[in-house]
Amino acid sequence: MVKKISNSVHWYGLKPTPRDPAFSGKLETTVVVVGGGVAGLSCAQALNEAGVPVVLLERDFCGAGASGKTSGFITPDSEIELSSLLSSYGPKKAKKIWQFVQSGVEKIRKNIEQNQIPCDHHIQDSLLIANTASGFCHVQKEHEARKKLGYPSELFDSVAVRELVGSNLYAGAVRYPETFGMNSYLYCQGMKKVLKKAGVLIFEDTKVDRIDGQKVFTQKGEITAKHIFVCTDRFIPELDVLKKEIYHVQTFLGITKPLNADQVKRLFPQGPLMVWDTDLVYNYFRLTGGNRLLIGGGDLFYTYAHELSTTNERFAKRLKAYIHKKFPELHFELGSVWPGMLGVSKDLLPVLGPDGNNKAVYYVGAATGLPWAAALGTYAADTILKNRHEFDEDFSPRRKFVIGSRLQTLLGTPVTYALSHGIAKYF
C-alpha cells in the first residue's frame, strides 16, 4: 500500500513568492501580453528590450500553468524529435525548425546566466533511451538524423548504455550535449523580477474575460493596446478560438526524497543525465538539486482526458513501478506527485498567428516544451519589432492536419489527438 503522498507542486513550496496585485481600472499602452509563463515572459522581454511599453497580465501567478509545473528539461527535443522533422520536412526545413527551438534553449540559458536567476540550474546531457528493440530503431534514426544535420550525437547499444544508466533493461540510447535541467517555476519568478525592474507592468490574479478589438477586459478593468499577444497555451480555447487546433496532454510528475551518494551512483554511473524513453506515452527522469530524482510519466487513458486528474496515488504507484522495474535495487520514497497539462496541436508543432477576425490579437500556443515557449514568445514579439514571418505558414492555426475538423467532430477530440500524435511521431 502506497503511503499518502502530497499532490502539491514540489517547485512551489521551495521558495513561495508573494503575488503582485490584480489589475483594476483603465489603462492605455502599446502592448498587452496575456500569460505569465515562459512564452509570455519571453515575449514581454523582447518587447521591453526594444523600448516598447508592455503590460503583462497573468490569471494566477507567473509560472502557475504548464511552465511552472514541468520537469524542467531544457532541450530542443520535446514531443517531436529531430528524426520526425527530418522525415516530414526534409533536411533544410528540419534544421531551420531545430535551430529555432535551439534558440529557445539559448535564450533561457542566457537569462539564467546574465541575471543570475537561482533556479536549480544543472548542466546535464540528454539521453533518449529505448525500452525495446523497436524503440532502439527509433533511437538509431534519431542518431542518424543528428549526424546528417551536423549535430553532436553518441549512439549506445544495450551493453554500452549500462555505463550511463545502471540498468540492463534498456535496448540502447542516443546521447547529446548542450542541454540542462532547471526549476521552471523559479525561472518564471526570476524573470518576473527582471522584467519588473526593467519597467514592465505585471499584474497577477488577473483573468482576461474577453478581448474586443483593441480592448482587453478583465474582471475589474480594461486595457486598450495597439497589439495584444495571447500566450496562454492550452487556455487559448477558453477565449472561444482555436478550439479544434489546440488541446492538451496530461502527464504526472513525482519527486523523491533525497537519495544518498550510492543510490545516485547506481542510477548514473558516469554522472547525471536527463533521460526519457521512446514510447508514445513516455517515462522520463533526471536528478535535481539535493539529489532528488524527478520522475515523469502517464498512461494513454489519462494523457488525453478532458479534465485534470488528481489521482496522484495511482500515479505514484506507476512511477515507482517504472523505476523499480528498471532499477530493482534502488529503494526510495516519493515526496510528492502532481499532474500537469501541456498544450499541443495535432501535429505536435506549435500554433501561432493573428486572429482571423482581429488583427490586433496574436496567439501563441501548443509550445511543447520550455525552449519552444521561449522561442515562440520571442518570435511573436519580432513580428512587430522586425517584421519576422518565416514560420508563419509552418505554425499557422490554419495549416492542414492529417485529421481535419470534420473527421475530428466524428471521432472526438481525445481520439483525434491520440491518433494524430502517433502518426506525427512514428509514421
- Reported as a single tens digit per residue, the pLDDT across 410-423 is 999 999 999 998 88
Q: CA distances (Å), 121 to each of 186, 189, 197, 238, 358, in order?
A: 10, 14, 22, 34, 40
What's the mean pLDDT in 63-69?
94
* Cα dihedral 188→84→299→364 (10° resolution): 40
pLDDT in tens, 256-299: 999 999 999 999 999 999 999 998 778 999 999 999 999 999 88
Could you give the CA distance from residue 345 to residue 367 in angstroms, rounded to a whole number? 9
Residue 47 confidence (pLDDT) above 60: yes
Res. 222: pLDDT tops 70: yes
Superfamily of domain 10-70+185-244+347-426: FAD/NAD(P)-binding domain (3.50.50.60)
pLDDT at 397 over 80: yes
d(CA 427, CA 425): 6
Q: What confidence category does residue 194 fall into, taking pLDDT thresholds of 50, 70 and 90?
A: very high
Per-residue confidence at 4, pLDDT binned at 50, 70, 90?
Answer: low
Mean pLDDT, rounded, for 392-415: 94
Largest CA distance in the chain: 65
Dihedral class, residue 270 (left if φ above 0, else alpha if ψ from -120 to 50, else beta)? alpha
- Where are the chain's structural domains? 10-70+185-244+347-426
Confidence of residue 427 (pLDDT cuts 50, 70, 90): confident
**CA angle centred on 264, ends 260 and 270, rounded to 5°:** 145
Contact 232, 65 (CB under 8 A): yes
Amino acid occupying residue 177? P
Q: Comparing 1-10, 162-171, 216-225, 291-300, which segment has the lowest mean pLDDT? A: 1-10
Q: What is the model's pLDDT at position 401?
A: 94
> According to the model, what pLDDT value does residue 247 have?
96
Tell me, what's the pLDDT at 424? 84
Q: What is the pLDDT of residue 296?
A: 95
DSSP string, 152-202: --EEEETTGGGGTSS-S---EEEEE-S-EE--HHHHHHHHHHHHHHHT-EE
At 3 the pLDDT is: 53
pLDDT at position 2 over 60:
no
- What pTM value is reported for the model? 0.95
**pLDDT for 135-149, tens place per residue?**
999 999 999 999 999
How does residue 1 score in pLDDT terms, banded at 50, 70 and 90?
Answer: very low
Which pLDDT value is given to residue 16?
66
Q: Which of 95-99, 160-164, 309-313, 400-404 has the lowest mean pLDDT?
A: 309-313
- pLDDT given for residue 315 in this prediction: 87
Assess contact for 115 and 190: CB atoms under 8 A: yes
| Of the candidates 191, 186, 10, the residue with the CA atom closest to the CA atom of residue 110 | 191
* pLDDT tier at 166, thresholds 50, 70, 90: very high
For 307-333, what is the mean pLDDT?
Answer: 89
What was the pLDDT predicted at 425? 75
Average pLDDT value for residue range 12-20: 79
Residue whose C-alpha is closest to residue 421's, from 303, 341, 315, 307: 303
Instruction: Tell me the pLDDT of the chain averaged across its residues.
Output: 94
Taking residues 94-107, what's their average pLDDT?
98
For the ranges 73-82, 91-100, 189-198, which has the lowest average pLDDT? 73-82
The model's confidence at residue 48, banded by pLDDT at 50, 70 and 90, is very high
